[in-house]
Amino acid sequence: MGDLNQFGDLGSGAAMPAFNAPASFNPYAAPPAPVKQAKGGKSAYRGGGARRGLPWENRKSGRVDSPFLGTVKMVLFDSSNAFKAMKTEGGLGDPIGFAFMGNVIGNLATAGYAAVFLLIGFFLGGDADGGSVAALGIGIGQQFFMALVQAGTRATIGMFVFAGITHLLLMMVKGANRSYETTFRALAYSDGALAFCGVIPCLGALVQLIGMLIISIIAVMNAHETSGGKAAFAILMPILLCCVSVGVLVFLFIGVIGAIVSGAGQ
């Protein structure tokens, strides 16, 4: 029996092509750094895929137990992750609904606290005749009615105007990496969560003011994937302009009064 070549005659026939690695190939080289900024100031990537959405945005899935309170908690106490998860598209219905609900609850709570203090002061005053009680009841009813009107106005007209100004300023500094809808959604969810803080007795308004300055900036920054400085400019500039305008009006008013007084003295 002759020699048995177990692997066959690999040497016969056409020769195997040789593998030549590219001259620039380096298996130990570090991967190239991602490009974070594209031309025109727009982000070159979008955070690695579709956003999962806030609990309020996923309430129809049936997998969220408390979509409203869950979103409030996430926006107030985990703002960065909340607005990294927020969907940047999908219509304005969800954010308007959330902002309206937050404003309704917060405004009604504030009106309720005010009514309690009015009742306490009224009955401690000792003038609880029939006409006064009726007038007090009408006044309290008007407070609750105006709370509902203000909630609806703020969640719609107020949000459209605020988002429009913010988005325009964001475009001025090339920080608007997404559409106006994204700005609206971010500010509406911020406002709804902050308005809910009206349930905190006495301190609700203060919490809303401080939170608006901080959370709104975080919301715009993460929703548009832009820098904190650009987001702060878009949020704070309208406030600064309002303060300057009020200061100028007060200064002019004092000047006019002073001129009238000095003219009368002569």
Whether 20 is covered by a domain: the verdict is: no
Q: Which range marks the domain in which residue 63 is found? A: 49-236
pLDDT tens for 57-72 read: 988 877 777 899 999 9
Q: Is residue 121 over pLDDT 50? A: yes
Whether 165 is covered by a domain: the verdict is: yes
How many domains does the chain contain in total?
1
Whether 101 is covered by a domain: the verdict is: yes
**What's residue 197's pLDDT?**
94
How distant, in Å, are the alpha carbons of 83, 143, 149 from that of 139? 40, 6, 15
Whether 29 is covered by a domain: the verdict is: no
Lowest model confidence (mean pLDDT) among 24-38, 43-57, 224-238: 24-38
Lowest model confidence (mean pLDDT) among 59-63, 182-186, 188-192: 59-63
**What's residue 97's pLDDT?**
95
**What's residue 14's pLDDT?**
47
Whether 95 is covered by a domain: the verdict is: yes
Burial class for 169, CB neighbours closer than 10 Å (0-12, 13-18, 19+): buried
Whether 13 is covered by a domain: the verdict is: no
* Residue entry with tokens 């608006």: 212
Q: How far apart are CA 178 and CA 183, in angstroms?
A: 8
Confidence of residue 256 (pLDDT cuts 50, 70, 90): confident
Contact 220, 171 (CB under 8 A): no
Q: Is residue 212 over pLDDT 80? A: yes
Whether 107 is covered by a domain: the verdict is: yes
**Averaged over 91-102, what is the pLDDT?**
94
pLDDT tens for 4-45 read: 444 444 444 444 454 454 444 454 444 444 444 444 444 433
Q: What is the mean pLDDT of the chain?
A: 81
Q: How far apart are CA 86 and CA 8, in angstroms?
A: 63
**What's residue 232's pLDDT?**
94
93, two tokens: 């219905």
**What's residue 130's pLDDT?**
64
Whether 153 is covered by a domain: the verdict is: yes
